[in-house]
Structure 1
Amino acid sequence: MSGIVLEDGVLSVDREPNQLDELAIGFSQILDQLGIEHVYVAGYVSILAGRARSTEDVDVLIEPLDETTAAEVATTLTTEGYWGPAMPLDSLHEMLTNGDPIWVAPADQVTPHLEVKHVRDKFDRASLSDAITAEIGDDSIPIGPLELQIAYKLSLGSQKDLEDAVHLYTLFVETLSMSRLEAWVQRLDVEPEYERLRQA
């Protein structure tokens, strides 16, 4: 794992981008052009950090969009060769406003896809506001702070989520902010799970 390093708030991933990375990088470039804040979270962060597991989606949180901006995003995505495998992209504003995710993928591809959601709660907002940078080759994307990702995975509690948390904790234990991690553990009320994680 020597090719994956967390230092000074930057996750450096020294490998060729895979299909998931290319999906995330391409989407980030479009959102950056439109000036839309976003952050990648959940299982993709663990996979980016070297965990070998499959996933069908890449979770991305975006700032709430008004109707005009959402229409601009949908038009730009369509122009750039993306589509909505589950729902047309012009439903983007309605879906996100209702609290539903919308799928985005390169044309004619169903998986993997991006699962795009509005930030909803204080944990989503913290992922967005405290995002760190992941550098993949010559490209970079914003990802949720690893301390929050670990605590949130513990709160979800499925086998896959717990294994994601163990992977991130074990790999970055030397460079994580333990004070921030423990603060999130308290806020998410997962102290017993965290104790088991530390002893894993």
Structure 2
Amino acid sequence: MSGIELREETLYVEREPNQLDELAIAFSEILDRIGIEHVYIAGYVSILAGRARSTEDVDVLIEPVDEPTAEELATTLDTEGYWGPAMPLTSMYEMLENGDPIWVAPTDQITPHLEVKIVDDEFDHASLSNAISAQIDGESIPIGPLELQIAYKLYLGAQKDIEDAVHLYTLFEETLSASRLETWVHRLDVDAEYDRLRDT
């Protein structure tokens, strides 16, 4: 089996977990324990799928949480040895309610950190509700569907985003759902960018 393979809605990653993976796996375990639905998206998905590039953050979307749940998460993170490099974890509910992302990192570390956001638009909700599983060294975390990740990266349009889209598309072209990918391409109005991607 190759090192990275997409089979039946699961991304299999056969390698030792790196620092980003360890951060994502540990945070996922905490969220699962509290019962908070979540999904990893954006640049981290490309890195997980073998793209060699640096990043300072791991983007994670979570379902809306009430104040007691946010407080439980903040307390659990504090107990487990995490802090908020940009603001105290005790501000979590207020920050999330305002639509602001919160940073979470192992104590005394600033990068890499998790950037945690509440699902906002239809694309966030689609990432959460259509999440697939990534298996890394026997551990499992939820990631956004690759078809949506590719289309959204084309929509963002920065150099690194285009390169992420090219990486994911080239690697998984044979196993992606073309119809789902084209649906998101149309919804995000990136048909021209997608045509260029297919020609690369």
* In structure 2, distance between residues paired with 1:33 and 1:39: 15
Task: List structure 1 segments (4+ residues) > 3 angstroms apart after TM superposition.
Answer: none
Name the TM-score, length of structure 1 as normaliser.
Answer: 0.99
* In structure 2, distance between residues paired with 1:26 and 1:105: 11
* In structure 1, distance between residues paired with 2:70 and 2:176: 36
* In structure 2, distance between residues paired with 1:95 and 1:152: 25
Query: Residue 103 of structure 2 aligns to which amino acid in structure 1?
Result: W
* In structure 2, distance between residues paired with 1:14 and 1:133: 14
| Counterpart mapping for 1:1-200 below 5 A | 2-200=2-200
3-state SS of 1:5 partner? strand
* In structure 1, distance between residues paired with 2:91 and 2:149: 29
* In structure 2, distance between residues paired with 1:173 and 1:14: 19
Deviations 1:44-77 (A, max 9, x none): 0000000000000000000011111100000000
Shift of residue 138, structure 1, vs aligned partner: 1.2
3-state SS of 2:124 partner? helix
Work out the percentage of aligned pairs sharing the same amino acid: 77
Shift of residue 2, structure 1, vs aligned partner: 2.3
* In structure 1, distance between residues paired with 2:161 and 2:85: 25
Deviations 1:101-158 (A, max 9, x none): 0000001100000000000010000000000000000101000000000000000000
* In structure 1, distance between residues paired with 2:178 and 2:97: 35
3-state SS of 1:16 partner? coil
Shift of residue 185, structure 1, vs aligned partner: 0.2
Query: Residue 79 of structure 1 aligns to which amino acid in structure 2?
Result: T
* In structure 2, distance between residues paired with 1:137 and 1:124: 27
* In structure 2, distance between residues paired with 1:182 and 1:12: 24
Query: Residue 155 of structure 1 aligns to which amino acid in structure 2?
Result: Y
Name the TM-score, length of structure 2 as normaliser.
Answer: 0.99
* In structure 2, distance between residues paired with 1:138 and 1:128: 22
Structural RMSD (CA): 0.8
* In structure 1, distance between residues paired with 2:135 and 2:147: 18
* In structure 1, distance between residues paired with 2:25 and 2:7: 21
* In structure 1, distance between residues paired with 2:145 and 2:4: 15
Count of residue pairs the alignment pairs up: 200
3-state SS of 2:64 partner? coil
